[in-house]
Structures are given as structure tokens and as C-alpha cells.
Amino acid sequence: MDKDTHRYDDIINLPHPTSANHPRMSLYDRAAQFSPFAALTGHDAAIKETARLTEQNIELSEDTISRLNEKLQIVADHLETEVTITYFVPDERKSGGAYVSYTGIVRRIDDYEHTLIMTDKTVIPIEQISEIESELFGEIGIYE
């Protein structure tokens, strides 16, 4: 027993050994060795993506489509007029999307691509438009 109590007497008061080849590790780097490990990489992002809500594209009635076509014709006849357009933007990652309202001036209507091209080069697909508003419609006598 006496032998065990004096086992390290020869080294107990020596200075801590340091390497001539390797610099000392900072306390921050030493602590990082013991930080939690994320076993499921990307799992948190997948959960957030699943929880993200999207809206469904509403199918428009024939009457609404007819009114939109009438408004589009008026806009085509009066380019460079400010309009507010509400349209559906499909989500790139999951089903559904979001309705966006955009206010700007229509530069031209591309009949081949079925799009509205705005003066700031924003392109709006005509098939996704759900509402068009403008002071122009009140002046002409078409009410929202």
C-alpha cells in the first residue's frame, strides 16, 4: 500500500510537457471536440421545409376568366398604364405556391409565350393571373 501512495512522486512536480513540433491546441478547439454531434445532417432543414405552408392554386370560374380576358384586352389597348396584378407563383419544392400582388406598368403582352412583360422586365404568366386592378377600368366604366 505504501508503494501505491508514492507512485508518481518522481514526476508530480515536473512542468507540463510541451511538444516542439505541434503547437498547443486552443481551449476553444479542445472544447469543440466534445460538442454535440449532428448525426442526421439536413434533418432539421427537412423538417422546416415540410412545415412550410403553401397555398393551392384556385381554379377560376368561366365568368372570372371572361372578366380577366376583357381587362387584359383593355390593358393591351392602353399599354404604359399602371396595373396591380395578383397571380399565383408555384412553389419550386413542393405542391402549391403563393399568391403575389405586383404593381407596375405593362410594357407589352407576349401572345406567343402568354405572358405580360412589365417595364422593369418582370414576366407574369397570363394563366396564373387571378385579378387585375387599375384606375383605367373605372375611367372606361368596367368596375371591379
Q: What is the CATH number of the domain that holds 125?
A: 2.30.30
Asked, for residue 99, whether it belongs to a domain, the answer is yes
Whether residue 25 sits in one domain with residue 67: no
Same domain, 66 and 101: yes
- Torsion angle, CA of 142/66/129/95, rounded to 10 degrees? 150
| Span 119-140, pLDDT tens digits | 999 999 999 999 999 888 777 6
- Weakest-pLDDT range from 2-16, 73-87, 92-106, 121-135: 2-16
Are residues 42 and 76 located together in one domain of the fold? Answer: no
Local structure of residue 19 (DSSP, 8 states): -
Q: Which tens digit of pLDDT belongs to each residue from 1-37? A: 456 677 888 888 888 888 889 888 888 888 887 777 6
User: 141 pLDDT band (50/70/90 cuts)?
Assistant: low
Q: How many structural domains does the chain have?
A: 2
pTM of the predicted structure, to 2 decimals: 0.61
Query: Is 56 part of any domain?
Result: no
How far is Cα 112 from Cα 132, in angstroms, rounded to an integer? Answer: 20
Cell of 131: 385579378
Task: Share the mean pLDDT of the chain.
Answer: 84
Place of cell 406598368: 105
The reply to whether 107 and 133 lie within a common domain is: yes
Q: Are 74 and 126 within one domain?
A: yes
What's the whole-number mean pLDDT along residues 104-130? Answer: 93
Examine the domain organization and report whether 44 and 71 are in the same domain: no
- Quick one: pLDDT at residue 128? 93
Q: Which residues span the domain enclosing 103? A: 62-140
> Is residue 57 assigned to a domain?
no
